[in-house]
Amino acid sequence: MDFYGNNKKKAFLILSSKFYEHFDEAIILAETAGYEIVGFKKFRGGRRITDNLIEIIKNSKKDLEFDTVIYYGDIEPSSVFKLEKETKIRVLDRVQLILEIFAQHAGSKEALLQIEMARIKHDLPIIREYIRRTKLGELAGFLGPGKYGIDTYKKQLTSRLAKIKEELEQLRKTEQERLMRRKELGMISIPIVGYASAGKTSLFNLITGESKPVGPEYFTTLFPKHKMIKYDGLKLAFADTVGFIRDVPPEVIEAFYSTLEEVTISDIIVFVIDITESEKDIKEKILAGTDILKKLNAINKPIVFVLNKIDEIKSDEISNKTESIKKSFPFINKIIPISAKKNIGIDELLKEIIGISRKIKVYV
The DSSP line for 274-320 is ETTS-HHHHHHHHHHHHHHHHHTT-TTS-EEEEEE-GGGS-HHHHHH
Residue 242 DSSP symbol: P
Average pLDDT in the 272-299 region? 90
Does a structural domain hold residue 197? yes
How confident is the model over 1-48, as pLDDT tens digits? 343 345 679 999 999 988 888 888 899 889 988 999 999 999 887 788
Q: What are the residues whose beta carbons fall under 8 Å from the beta carbon of 48, sequence distance 6 or more?
A: 75, 76, 78, 79
What mean pLDDT is reported for the chain? 83
Q: What percent of the chain has pLDDT over 90?
A: 37
Q: Which of 52, 70, 105 is a domain's end point?
A: 105
- Whether 116 and 256 map to the same domain: the answer is no
pTM of this structure:
0.75
The 10 Å CB-count burial string (b at 16+, else e) for 270-284 is bbbbbbbbeeeebbb
Q: Residue 141 has what pLDDT?
A: 47
Average pLDDT in the 231-237 region? 91
Closest CA to 317 of 351, 275, 287: 275
- Whether 93 and 147 map to the same domain: the answer is no
- 161 or 255: whose pLDDT is higher? 161
Does a structural domain hold residue 176? no
Q: Where are the alpha helices (DSSP H) in 136-232?
A: 147-184, 200-208
- 272 or 259: whose pLDDT is higher? 272
Least confident segment among 68-72, 145-149, 246-250:
145-149
**Band of residue 282 on the pLDDT scale cut at 50, 70, 90:** very high
In the predicted model, is pLDDT for residue 364 greater than 70? no
Q: Residue 355 has what pLDDT?
A: 93
Q: Residue 80: which domain range?
A: 9-105
- 109 or 139: whose pLDDT is higher? 109
Q: Residue 362 has what pLDDT?
A: 46
Does a structural domain hold residue 324? yes
- Whether 204 and 155 map to the same domain: the answer is no
Does a structural domain hold residue 3? no
**Band of residue 336 on the pLDDT scale cut at 50, 70, 90:** very high
How confident is the model over 61-87, as pLDDT tens digits? 888 989 999 999 888 888 888 888 888
Least confident segment among 117-126, 130-139, 274-283:
130-139
Residue 65 DSSP symbol: -
Please answer whether residues 304 and 352 qualify as being in contact, where contact means their C-beta atoms are separated by less than 8 angstroms.
yes
Domain at 299, CATH number: 3.40.50.300
Domain at 23, CATH number: 3.40.50.11060
- Whether 339 and 204 map to the same domain: the answer is yes
How confident is the model over 311-326, as pLDDT tens digits? 999 999 999 999 999 9
Summarize the chain as % helix, strand, coil (round to 5).
Answer: 55, 20, 30
Which run of H or of E encompasses 36?
Answer: strand 35-43
Q: Residue 363 has what pLDDT?
A: 44
Average pLDDT in the 257-277 region? 84
- Whether 279 and 232 map to the same domain: the answer is yes
**Band of residue 137 on the pLDDT scale cut at 50, 70, 90:** low
- Whether 329 and 207 map to the same domain: the answer is yes
Q: What percent of the chain has pLDDT over 70?
A: 84
Does a structural domain hold residue 270? yes
In the predicted model, is pLDDT for residue 342 greater than 90? yes
Does a structural domain hold residue 174? no
- Whether 121 and 90 map to the same domain: the answer is no
Does a structural domain hold residue 100? yes
- Whether 250 and 353 map to the same domain: the answer is yes
Average pLDDT in the 187-200 region? 89
Please answer whether residues 353 and 304 qualify as being in contact, where contact means their C-beta atoms are separated by less than 8 angstroms.
yes
How confident is the model over 168-190, as pLDDT tens digits? 888 878 877 877 777 777 889 99
Does a structural domain hold residue 212? yes
Q: Which of 83, 105, 127 is a domain's end point?
A: 105
In the predicted model, is pLDDT for residue 224 greater than 50? yes
- Whether 191 and 91 map to the same domain: the answer is no
- Whether 101 and 114 map to the same domain: the answer is no
Q: Residue 142 has what pLDDT?
A: 43
- Whether 201 and 259 map to the same domain: the answer is yes
In the chain, the amino acid numbered 270 is V
Please answer whether residues 247 and 197 qualify as being in contact, where contact means their C-beta atoms are separated by less than 8 angstroms.
no
Number of domains in the chain: 3
Least confident segment among 237-241, 242-246, 342-346:
242-246
Q: What are the residues whose beta carbons fall under 8 Å from the beta carbon of 207, sequence distance 6 or more?
A: 229, 238, 346, 350
In the predicted model, is pLDDT for residue 338 greater than 80? yes
Helix (H, G, I), strand (E, B) or coil at 24: helix
- Whether 96 and 136 map to the same domain: the answer is no
Average pLDDT in the 244-268 region? 71
In the chain, the amino acid numbered 177 is E
